[in-house]
Structure 1
Amino acid sequence: MLSSIKAPSPEDAANGYSWDAIQSALKRYLRGRGTRLDVVDDVTQETLARLVELARTQQIGSIVSLAFRIADNLVIDMHRRESRLEPEIEDDVRSDEPSLNRVLDSRRAMDIFNRCLRKMPRLRREVLIRRRINQESCRAIGDDLAMSAKAVEKHITRGMIDLRRALEQAGIDLAGQD
């Protein structure tokens, strides 16, 4: 872990710094502050590297206090970097496609629609398909099938009731979906 940090020089020993003790204290401090475990070692190593460099060029009053201050600043910087990256990641992951649950529910609903349509009387099925799928007017359907527009509307209403009932029995609520 500390392989990238130069070994303490004789002057470090003369200053009385115990790098192992400082490292242990830093790890305890960071864990106690709730720093993520995957970050503790990295912050500790970076803190010790900075301390070694500072100790070589400057007189340090309390190396442990300075170590804690450096570690706090590194953790804050890390959180800032991560918070700037999060929105970009979320935007990349977000999709306009329907969720898997929505797709599966839609497929189940289509299977139920098809089964229900096959069970309907031939005339009701034809009227419902021509009106709802082919978007033909009630008057045009009535003229082709020799029935009144009111009779066409009743077939549509009964067909929709049949479809809704079949969906309810299957436990699918299309109105409650996004």
Structure 2
Amino acid sequence: MSSASIDRLQVSRLFLTHRDEIVNFLMLKVRCPDAAQDLSQETYLRLLRKDTLQHTDNLTGYLFRTAERLAIDFLRYDQRVTSKHDELNEELVCPNIQPEALLILRQQCELLLDAIASLPAQCRHVLLLRKIDEMSYAAIAMKLGISEKTVQRHLVKAMLHCHRRLAAPVPA
């Protein structure tokens, strides 16, 4: 295959002759009239930028092949952009705590703190060492100088007390 130079007049005639065919061809590929028009113009510009072509015996085929490659590039780009911008899903829930839920959470925290504060000192101490400091029963028993069984009893007593206080109806 030999290279041959093409002149602007030849490209202009080629484009004018096949313009509607190229637009229709691109329309079938990209399914958007505006994009098809833009891509047909880009096809023309690509040919104008070439000084020489290797396939001067079939310029029409070269024109359509250029248009097809531009359409493929356009569709790839469009697919990447579309996949990055998901459609707005109306069923999505805001990940932030809503004001009503925050108010309820604050009230529950206050009830829990009041329940813990109203525990006998030894029960409160065992509960805090276990739940806050995450100490084992043995470590709590050693620290407080009591048996592990007593630690378990204090913990059960504290947990039941807190549970009852949280389950009780809130006075208005």
Higher relative contact order (CA 8 A, sep 6+): 2
Structure 1 or 2, whichever has the larger Rg, is: 2
TM tier, smaller: 0.3 to 0.5
TM-score calculated relative to the size of structure 2: 0.47
TM-score calculated relative to the size of structure 1: 0.46
